Amino acid sequence: MLQMIKSDAEERMQKSIEALKAEFIKIRTGRAHTSLLDHVIVPYYGNATPITQVANITVLDNRTLGVTPWEKNMLSTVEKAIRDSDLGLNPTNLGTVLRVPLPPMTEERRRDLVKIVRHEAENARVAVRNIRRDAIQELKSLKKEGSLSEDDERRGEESMQKLTDKYIAVLDKQLTDKETELMEV
């Protein structure tokens, strides 16, 4: 019973780590990568569709993305969707391909991104702590029912705290790595 609670909590904490990694990938560092445009939505025959489902996105060089819509008539629609997104990008129409140059990052923008990264990391820490809280509540309810001794409950709480500390350390390492990446010029 104790092992089930611990493995469930560990699995959920691991998912929090993966969610943070996914959030960090979306925050750009000045280098082009295809996932930058993942959350851009394009109106496609009346439906809001992710850009990855209507166009091929490639990295042309480390500061430029290439976007090739699968249908030629979608070029201007995709261009408008990228321009209207919150990324601050200005694509250039080359006839069949859109060139999307990434502007150089200013010091102020880098600091803003570091603040965003810290906020995302704090949200992940809160999620991990909530998972710990849920597991400890589950232990307490099992003790109350009588299917868990007081010593087992205490051991379980200590185990949950060690697990939480381990995953918080992983989150902190990811945060410092991303901050370093953002601040490098």
User: Mean per-residue pLDDT for 112-139?
Assistant: 92
What pLDDT score was predicted for residue 88? 74
- pLDDT by residue (tens digit) across 59-68? 988 888 899 9
Round to whole Å and give the CA distance between 180 and 173: 11
pTM above 0.75, yes or no: no
Least Cα distance to 122 among 74, 83, 58, 171 occurs for: 171
Beta strands in the chain (DSSP E): 41-44, 47-50, 55-61, 64-69, 92-93, 98-101
Q: What is the share, in percent, of the chain residues with pLDDT greater than 70?
A: 97
Q: What percent of the chain has pLDDT over 90?
A: 36
Residue 10 Cα distances to 6, 22, 69, 106, 157, angstroms? 6, 19, 41, 39, 13
Ordered by where they begin, the domains of the chain are 2-26+106-183 (1.10.132.20), 34-101 (3.30.1360.40)
The pLDDT value recorded for residue 147 is 86
The answer on pLDDT for 7 being more than 80 is yes
* pLDDT (0 to 100) of residue 113: 83
Amino acid, single-letter form, for residue 37: L
Average pLDDT over residues 109-126: 89
Burial of 144 (0-12, 13-18, 19+ CB in 10 A): exposed
- The owner of tokens 């699995």 is 11
